[in-house]
Amino acid sequence: MDEKNKSALVFCLTGGITGVVAGSVLKGMAGELILLIAIMIIYLTTYIVPIVGVNIERLGGRRKVITSGMFSFLMWWLSLWFLIYNIA
């Protein structure tokens, strides 16, 4: 698996975990606060990406890693948040 796919997979996993937590535990909180927490987790995920063996400099730096992984994070986060929020 190449480095870009590993990075996207890490963003998918953190987005899914964040979506489940936001939909169940943070249900009564303001939407702006949940969005702020999600943005912080997107940024913190760039520090998790090197742990799985991805060279950030080869991908173009932290900014490029964030922009390339943001869509997969947001897709999983919004999908799972929507499902958990409406079911629970």
SS3 66: helix
* Domain edges within the chain: 3-87
Rounded to whole angstroms, how far apart are CA atoms 37 and 25? 13
Buried b (16+ CB within 10 A) or exposed e, 9-37: bbbbbbbbebbbbbbeebeeeeeeebeee
- pLDDT category of residue 17 using cuts at 50, 70 and 90: very high
Query: pLDDT tens digits for 30-63?
Result: 778 888 888 899 999 999 999 998 999 998 999 9
Q: What's the pLDDT at 1? A: 80
CB 25 within 8 A of CB 81: no
Do the Cβ atoms of 59 and 65 come closer than 8 Å?
yes
pLDDT of residue 86: 84
**pTM over the 0.85 mark:** yes
